Amino acid sequence: MKKNLPIIIILILLAVLPLVGLSSYIMHILVLVIIYSIIGMAWNLLGGYCGQVSFGHAAYFGVGAYTAGIIYSKLGVSAWWGLPLSIFVVTALSLIIGFICLRLRGPYFALGTLAMGEVLRVTAENLVKFTGGDVGILIRERTWVGKIWYYYIILLLAIGTYLLVKIVIESKLGYYFVSIREDQDAAESMGIDTTTYKTIALCLSGAITGIAGAFYMNYMGYIDPKVVFNLHDISIVTIMVVMVGGVATYWGPTIGAIIMVFLAELIRSNPSLGAAHQTLFGILLIFIIIFLPNGIVGDFPKLRKLFRLGGTPT
């Protein structure tokens, strides 16, 4: 109980937060933070624990969003049904992508998934009859005008994701994942069917990202291929969220999402810096990789030592 106390306090704080009367802009940023931390946790499951670095999480995000969008625009069903439905659609997609890309190892897998994300973007742009092409999909009637309910829904999804990741990683499955990351050949020779477990990790990771995508459709009310299949704003920012926060840690993605989203808003709201936001992101990424390769949470002891050394006068 004592171990879980900080988590419970954080949860209560998060639950009470919208009641304080925050402006709708702040609420929007909070929702974005939670969306990115969900995708980050999903990426971390595959990339951090299983060692399969994916550059194509926009594929799952986008397909999730388009599942919700298409059932709304073509079947006239509420886009909220997209959340449960996207699990099946995205899992099927993950199986296909896994069949193709999991033959590749390491950096080659990374590029294979990157290509998959781009394939889906171009497909969504060209299948005009189905997806509306570059025009995108617009939900005309929003479910709620305020953001509070959206906030609670995405918060619940985030808690669910957190618990799922924790349960998976602390089960036998988690140990299989880590063994694959550490040495795939050794894992295989110990009798672990690496392809199966990598596929499981990919499907779990993809499905969670897909739900986040379906939520995004409901929340934003508008999607187009350039937004939801965006290589930089989804796939690479997801990687940055995890790299900055901490690879293979429970809280890393959340911390990373808070830093990245607030940083992005800060840079964008400053007119002289706004144009340079990708440069600053890139420099931050290079800096993190060289000096804090395991992220803020992962290299926390290192950081603390650094600050203690700097803080105490000699």
Partner 1 sequence: MAVQIELFLQTLIAGILLGGLYALIGIGMTLIMGVMKIINLAHGELMMVAMYISFWLFTLFHIDPYISVLVAAPALFFLGVGLQKFLINPVLRVESILPENQVILTVGIGMVLANLATIFFTSNYRSTPVDYATKAFYLTDFWKDAPIELSLSMAWSLSFLIAVAITVALWFFLTRTDTGKSIRATAQDLDAALLMGVNVRKMRVVTFGIGCALVGAAGCLFLPIYYLFPALGGQFTLIAFVITILGGLGSTNGAIIGGVILGIFESMTATYLGMGWAPVGRFLIFVAALVFLPGGVASLIRSKKLGK
Q: How far is the CB of 96 from partner 1 (least distance, A)?
A: 10
Sign of the Cα torsion 252, 256, 257, 262 reads positive
Whole-number Å distance between alpha carbons of 173 and 106: 20
Please state the φ and ψ torsions of residue 221, each to the nearest 5 degrees.
Answer: 75, -5
Please tell me what DSSP assigns to residue 172: H
Torsion from C-alpha of 112, 93, 241, 255, nearest 10 degrees: -150
285 is a contact residue toward partner 1 (CB under 8 A): yes
Q: How far is the CB of 312 from partner 1 (least distance, A)?
A: 27
Indicate the residue among 49 and 150 with the shorter CB distance to partner 1.
Answer: 49
286 is a contact residue toward partner 1 (CB under 8 A): yes
Interface with partner 1 (CB under 8 A), residue total: 48
**Binding track over 136-155 against partner 1, x by CB under 8 A:** --------------------
Whole-number Å distance between alpha carbons of 293 and 278: 20
Indicate the residue among 115 and 303 with the shorter CB distance to partner 1.
Answer: 115
| Of 38, 258, 2, 56, residue with least CA distance to 165 | 38
Query: Contact at 8 Å (CB) between 37 and 67?
Result: no
Q: How far is the CB of 254 from partner 1 (least distance, A)?
A: 18
| Of 218, 297, 299, residue with least CA distance to 41 | 297
| Of residues 183-222, those binding partner 1 (CB under 8 A) | none
279 is a contact residue toward partner 1 (CB under 8 A): yes
Whole-number Å distance between alpha carbons of 269 and 193: 49
48-79: buried (b, 16+ CB within 10 Å) or exposed (e) per residue?
bbbbbbbbbbbbbbbbbbbbbbbbbbeeeeeb
Q: Which of 190, 289, 304, 305 is close enough to bind partner 1 by CB under 8 A?
A: 289
Q: How far is the CB of 259 from partner 1 (least distance, A)?
A: 16
**Binding track over 219-258 against partner 1, x by CB under 8 A:** ------------xx---x--x---x---xx----------
| Of 104, 133, 109, residue with least CA distance to 121 | 133
24 is a contact residue toward partner 1 (CB under 8 A): no
Q: How far is the CB of 107 from partner 1 (least distance, A)?
A: 5
Q: Which stretch binds partner 1 (CB under 8 A): 5-13, 114-122, 164-172, 190-198?
A: 114-122
Q: How far is the CB of 120 from partner 1 (least distance, A)?
A: 9
Number of separate helices (H) and strands (E) present in the chain: 17, 2
**Bridge-partner residues for 137, per DSSP?**
223
Residues that bind partner 1 (CB under 8 A): 47-48, 51, 53, 55, 99-101, 103-104, 106-108, 110-112, 114-116, 118-119, 122-123, 125-126, 181, 231-232, 236, 239, 243, 247-248, 275-279, 281-283, 285-286, 289-290, 293-294, 298
